[in-house]
Each structure stands twice: as structure tokens, then as C-alpha cells.
Amino acid sequence: LRPKSQRADMAESLPGPNVFSLRIVSIDYYMASPIPAYDLCYSSFQGGEVKEVPVIRVYVDGIIPAVSLDLEKALKMNTLGVSSYSLDLDVLQDFNQILQTPNGVMYEPPEVRRGILPRLLEEILSTRIMVKKAMKKLTPSEAVLGRIFNARQLALKLIANVTYGYTAAGFSGRMPCAELADSIVQCGRSTLEKAISVVNANENWNARVVYGDTDSMFVLLKGRTVKEAFDIGQEIASGITEMNPYPVTLKMEKVYQPCFLLTKKRYVGYSYESPDQNKPTFDAKGIETVRRDTCEAVAKTMEQLSRTCIDSGNGYYKGECLFKILSLQKKFGWGLILIVLQLQNQLETHYSGFKTPHIYNLSDLVQRNLALQARKFGRLQLSDTSEDSSNIYVFQISGKLPFTIDIPFVSGSRGESSNVEKRLTSLTGLPLSDLLRKKHREFDAKFTECFNISEEHDSETVRVGKTAMANMIGGIGYFYGQSKIYVPKSSQASISVMFIMYQFFLPFYVIPICKLAELYTAVPSRPFFPRGFLWDEGFHQLLIWRWDFRITLDIVGHWLDLLNIDGWIPREQILGAEALSKVPEEFVVQYPSNGNPPTLFLVIRDLIDGIKTEKFIASEKDEILSFLERASVRLDAWFQWFNTFQTGKERGSYFWHGRDNTTTRELNPKTLSSGLDDYPRASHPSEDERHVDLRCWMYLAADCMHSITELLGKEDKFSKEDYNSTAMLLSNFDILNQMHYDKEHGAYFDFGNHTEKNKKNQKYDFRARELKQVTMAAANGRKRLQKRFDETCEETL
């Protein structure tokens, strides 16, 4: 429902386009909201005027009867919003406590009941005054704090200004009241009219109001000096303030001479802010010189035009003013306009600088910046601003395709010896194009040499190969951060116990250990998997070592530096906030009981074969042997970890730990540690399993370690024989066939408890149910659960 009565328009004293060469005093309404001044609020609303019955107009200072009044009938017909509202007769016994606004609506004055909206606005406006006073006390070095204070006072101003709109929003508002909104407008209008009448009628001032609105008045003073204008302006402000209820306050602002009054809230002129100011300053409001949605060329043109017209006086013809502007083009620099036009036709550039501790949230920062600009100005562009101490800048370049742009980054640009222009020239335009063509030729030549490309290879295959190689090299990065690793609290817990029990005991029996680490590595996918994977890295290096074996040695060395005291390497390196932001929570934690294929032995085997077949020159061979010498201790620790913690019950058997034997969500539990996550294995994980792929990996590792000891001439015969005996055992086909060969299918399979009739249900075996009961019991007592776990470990050991 819409209110019955309609809101009145705010008919302000609008100036016509005019030029005033005499003194004009600008007097601002420092605080002019009718809401707190007249206690206009939903809570103080007492009903509306009855049009059919003569009414009595009641003011705070007494009663002014117009004609006789049928008070009882009038009270019965009062309306509030859209509803009729009747008052008891004794409510209005004291007529001195009733206020009627110009639109015929009655309110209780603040002496009777202070409204909610007036109290709210008083608090907001007084806070804004306090913030503005604090702004004036800031020093130039506190520019950042000044911007913060300015934003706060503007926010408070906005909240205060929308209060009227809240009461008047008949279509979209939640509490529209046309009578209240109309009262606010009419009281403001009445305040302005009274002020104009008082100023124009005062013979001592000899002044005339040439413009007035609810924010300010412009008063024309003929034949007065600047000092006299300030004195009279102060008298006007004080007089109008005294005749209005609190907190309506006027404040003398500036004296203009001359002044262009264009339209509402749009003017320009020379202003004096104090009587002692000798030279006026150029001041403008609402025109293109100060609008943020105007390009710089238009703003400067308008400012220069305004200055010229003001300086020229009233005798100049418009054509002469325009001629004077055109004659100043050398001083103005019309090249700026040409640049703007060129950017509009070709490239448009915007930027924003951000201060952020993490780069991974850059997309969110940019999106928020664009959204704010779109809401404010309706343009999807960056703000062309930067935060203090910004550590990243984002540039937005828009253009019509096709186009080419060079973006050089030049460091050390300060100082006379920086040679910035010379360096920019060498990094852009034709020099940059020549350098890029040279690098392309070098890349093509190296690719052909590294991979023995011949004419037999078609161009499409070669192009795909070059792209893959470039992407692989481009994906190499450096990471630093902490991996989250879970280990048992009790040192007595064995890996086998953890294999079965960590699914339920994890929240109570393991503690996170964050290990600082650094890693130089390639990544499987920069957009989706921007972090190191142990299983993937061996395959990456099969490609990279052919391009530059030194990169491979560096990367493999970084991975081996991640070994813990037992010889275990976490399979996934989630180092830093950016990498962490891309990983689902359930995959963040690394378990020391779970391995990952030792694929780094693939590239080590290739390097060893290259040495044996003399693919490397003498200096390169020495570099590789030196690396293997330093890395052999870590490689041995890694090898021994697999032979200790990933072995099965049968000699020469291995199985991947970490499969969930309690899940009801999967018919065949995944084997993340194997690298083949959803490769079908035994449907019921147990310690009896034997995995043929891990056996093959261990043969590769044992054979590589044996080759390293031979190549380096190690004197430790025990280690050499140990590697050789393991390799011989794992290469024994009789044992392999006995453990993994299936004659019926003629293939090698994993061994374990498996059924094809498995189905999802919520039933667990006895051990699983017992574990779940123990886990749930932890909610009642963690100490009791800890004791039970220790007892289980002792029984198992």
C-alpha cells in the first residue's frame, strides 16, 4: 500500500546562468537537518491535519487559532501513514507541547519525547564534526591517516543523507511514510525561506540572496571590501543560527569575486577564505575541472577557459575568449589530447597497486577493485590508485585486436646514472623484437639438438614438442613453507598399527608437525597443481635432463633434502599460502607411513647410462659423479625406508600403505600413495596385500643403487652386495610368478582379499566397530582413550 498523501517537491532557489563581478558571500549550513531540529520521527508522529475541518496551528511558543475547531472530530480523523489514528482528548490538553509542520502534520517536541531518528542523526553528525576537526590537525606526513579520516567523514555524511530517503522510499523502502518525508522537506524549505527573507529585509546588511538551497546560501554584497564582506557574512550566519532551533547552524565559508553561478551546485570563481588573504584562489564545484569522471584533457581545458573568462571581465566577447584559449596551446600542451584520443582508439590503460602478504588472493583483490569502480562510476576498470607500500601492481590494458604492446620492467631507475631511457629503448620496440627472434632461433636449434629432430618428424609433431618443452621449463619454480605431517604421540606405536588405526585415531592420537622446507621443482600444472609432487617429478626430469642436466641435478638435490630422519619424503609438497589455497583440506596432511613411487631413480638411471655410453663430456661427467657422491647417502636412506616400512609379510613382497580399510564410501578404496589413485586393487585392504607395481619400483631402485656403488667405486662391500642381492631377488621370475602371476588370465596381478560382490553399506567388522566405539568414547574422556591406545600398541608389539 502506498501512503495517501504525496510528497511535495523541494522547490529551491535556483540561479540562472549568471556572472557576478561583485562580492558574493558563501554561507554554508553547517548542520541543517530538519529531523533533529524539529524532532521529526516515526516515534514523535501524532497524526495528520484534517482537511475538511478548520484546524488550529500550534507552535512551540503558543497557540494561533485560525477559526473555530471541532477538536473531537478532528482528532478522530487524524491519520498516521495509511491508517486512521484517534487520540484521547486529554492528550492535547497542553497545546504548548505540540508542533505542527507546514504540511499539517503534528509531532511531539523534544521536550516531551525525543525521537529515534533525531538521536541517531545527532550522534552521526557530531561524530562527523569530530572527524573533520581531527583531519585539520594532521600534518602533511600523515597523508594516509588523512585519507582514512576523509573516507570516514564521507561515510557518515552518506548515512545522514540517506535518512530522508529511507522515510520517503514508498516503492522499495521497508518503512515509508509520506507524511514524515513531506514534513522533512517542508521544514527544510521553510527554514531556507525564512533565512532568505531575513537577509533580503535587513537594511543594515544591504544584501540580496542570489542562490540558496538546503546546503548553502550565496549572498550578493555591493560595494564592500573583502573584510567587510567577511564581517557581514559572519553576522548573517550568527543571526540565522539564533532564529532556528538547535542544531541548525550556519557558518561563514568564503567570499567570491568574481563568481560564475551556472546551475544547482555548479559554480566557479576566485575565492578568499580569510580577510587577510591577498591573492584569491581558483575554486570550482560540480564542473568538469573537479569531476572524477572527466578525462584530464577536458578538465584542464575547462579550467583554463574558466580562468580566461574570469580574468577577461565582462567586456570580452565569447569568440575572443576562445581565441585566447587557442593561442595558449603551447603553454597548455595539446599533445595530451592527442594521447587521450590515441588511447581511446587503440589502447586504454588502468592500474591498481595492492599491498598483500600473499599473491594467491590477487584475483579477489582485483575483482573487488573492479566491482567498486563499477558501482561508483559504472565502468569496469581499475581505480588508477595504489595503496601505500604496494608490493604488487596490476595493469589493465584494453584495445581492439590485433595489437602489440611492450611492457618493460626496469629496476634501479633512480639516480642520474640509471640510464632509464637508454635501457627502455633497448627493451622495447625493434631491439626487443630482434632479441626475441634471436632467442626463438636459439630455442629451435637447442630443441633439435637435444631431441635429435630430423626431417622425418612432421612440423605439427615438432610444434607440439616445443610447446610441451617450453611449458615444462616455464613451470619450474621455487617454493618455501611448511608441510603438515602427522606422527603418533606415543613413540611405541608401530607403522602397522597406524596403517589400520589412523582413520579413527587421527584426531586424538596424532599431532601436527610443521616442517620448514624449500623446494626447487617443476609442477604438474601451473593453474591446478602449482606445487611439487614426488611421483610426478621423476617423469618431469626424464624430459628436463635432456635439455639441461644441471637443472635436473639441482631439482633432485632439493627433493633429497626433504628426507626426514627415517628416510621418508612427503609425496606432496604444499609449501606456502598460494600452494595451500589450491589443495582440498583432506589432502593437506602427509602421513609418514605412506610412501610414493621413487621415480627419481628413473632420471638417475638415465644419467648413469649416459655416463656409461659416453653421452657427456669429461667436465659434465665429473659434475654428475660429484652429485651422485653427495646424494648417495640420502638415496640409500630413501631406499632403506621402503625396505623397512613398505614391505609385506612374504620375503620380497611390498604393498602401499595408507589404504582405508574402514571406508563405506568406496567399493575399492583408493591408493593415493601409489600415484595410481583409483587403480583397482584388492577390495579389502590388509597387511596381507602384495602390490606388483611397488615391487617393480624397488627393483629399479636396487639396481640403480648397485650401479651407483660400482660407478663410484664404493669400498663398502656390504652395501654393494645388499643392493645387488635385492635386485637379484626382485628380478627372479620364479618368485615373481609365485607371488603375482595368474595362469588363468595370463597376467600379473596384485595379491589381497578381494571380492567382485562388494557393495556399499554401513556395516563394519568387529575391529572396525570397536575402533569406532573407542573413537566416540573420546568425547567423554581423552585420557581414557589415550590409555586404551597405549595398551593396544603394547599388545601388538
Mean pLDDT taken over the chain = 78
Average the pLDDT over 370-385 and give the result.
88
Q: Where does residue 631 rank: exposed (0-12), middle (13-18), buried (19+ CB within 10 A)? A: buried
**Which residue, among 465, 705, 692, 497, has the nearest Cα to 601 in the 3D structure?**
705
User: Is 330 a residue whose pLDDT tops 80?
Assistant: no
pLDDT in tens, 127-182: 998 999 999 888 888 888 989 999 999 999 888 888 877 787 766 667 888 888 88
**Which residue, among 503, 479, 500, has the nearest Cα to 555 in the 3D structure?**
479
Give SS3 for 53. Answer: coil
Average the pLDDT over 210-236 and give the result.
87
Give dist(CA 87, CA 767) in Å, integer: 78
Top-confidence residue, 208 or 415: 208
Percent of the chain with pLDDT over 90: 28
Give 392's DSSP letter: E
pLDDT in tens, 267-302: 888 899 888 888 888 888 877 666 666 667 677 777
Least confident window among 106-110, 462-466, 574-578, 767-771: 767-771
Phi first, then psi, for residue 219 (nearest 5°) are -115, 125
Give dist(CA 302, CA 288) in Å, integer: 7
Give dist(CA 181, CA 786) in Å, integer: 69
Which CATH fold would you assign to the domain 25-179? Helix Hairpins (1.10.287)
Q: Are the C-beta atoms of residues 701 and 642 closer than 8 Å to each other? A: yes
What is the chain's length? Answer: 797
pLDDT in tens, 344-359: 346 788 999 999 887 7
Average the pLDDT over 719-733 and give the result.
86
Give 529's DSSP letter: B
Question: Within 104-142, where are the H helices?
Answer: 116-136
* Class of the CATH domain delimited by 472-796: mainly alpha
Q: In the chain, what are the domain boundaries?
A: 25-179, 472-796
Question: Within 313-361, where are the H helices?
Answer: 318-327, 329-332, 335-345
Top-confidence residue, 326 or 698: 698
pLDDT in tens, 227-239: 899 999 999 989 9
**What cell numbers appear for 745 in the block?**
588370465
Q: What is the pLDDT of residue 319?
A: 38
- For residue 751, the cross-strand partners are 690
Q: Are the C-beta atoms of residues 550 and 628 closer than 8 Å to each other? A: no
User: Is 248 a residue whose pLDDT tops 90?
Assistant: no
User: Is 14 a residue whose pLDDT tops 60?
Assistant: no
Give dist(CA 518, CA 479) in Å, integer: 6
pLDDT in tens, 28-75: 766 667 888 888 898 888 776 544 433 333 333 333 333 334 444 444
Per residue in 515-524, is it b (16+ CB within 10 Å) or e — as a string? Answer: eebebbbbbb
**Which residue, among 153, 148, 150, has the nearest Cα to 128 in the 3D structure?**
153
Q: What is the pLDDT of residue 513?
A: 57
pLDDT in tens, 464-505: 999 999 999 999 999 998 888 877 655 444 443 333 333 333
Confidence grade of residue 308 (pLDDT, cut at 50, 70, 90):
confident
Q: What is the pLDDT of residue 337?
A: 39
pLDDT in tens, 632-646: 999 999 999 999 999
Q: What is the pLDDT of residue 796?
A: 39
Q: Which residue has the cell 589413485?
A: 677
Phi first, then psi, for residue 424 (nearest 5°) are -65, -40
Q: What is the pLDDT of residue 582?
A: 83
Q: What is the pLDDT of residue 698?
A: 95
Q: Are the C-beta atoms of residues 217 and 211 closer than 8 Å to each other? A: yes
Q: What is the pLDDT of residue 643?
A: 92
Give dist(CA 221, CA 25) in Å, integer: 7
Q: 174-183, 515-524, 534-543: which has the highest mean pLDDT?
A: 534-543
User: Is 794 a residue whose pLDDT tops 70?
Assistant: no
User: Is 538 a residue whose pLDDT tops 90?
Assistant: yes
Give dist(CA 550, CA 555) in Å, integer: 9
Q: What is the pLDDT of residue 406?
A: 84
> First vs last Cα of the chain: how many Å apart?
80
**What cell numbers appear for 258 in the block?**
568574481
Give dist(CA 295, CA 277) in Å, integer: 32
Q: What is the pLDDT of residue 496?
A: 38
**Which residue, among 258, 369, 389, 254, has the nearest Cα to 312 in the 3D structure?**
258
Q: 96-105, 182-191, 752-761: which has the highest mean pLDDT?
A: 182-191
**What cell numbers appear for 142 in the block?**
600523515
For residue 692, how many other CB atoms are within 10 A of its CB?
A: 18
Give dist(CA 107, CA 101) in Å, integer: 8
Q: What is the pLDDT of residue 329?
A: 42
Top-confidence residue, 212 or 12: 212
User: Is 786 a residue whose pLDDT tops 90?
Assistant: no
Q: What is the pLDDT of residue 440?
A: 94
Q: Are the C-beta atoms of residues 180 and 105 closer than 8 Å to each other? A: yes
Q: What is the pLDDT of residue 83?
A: 52
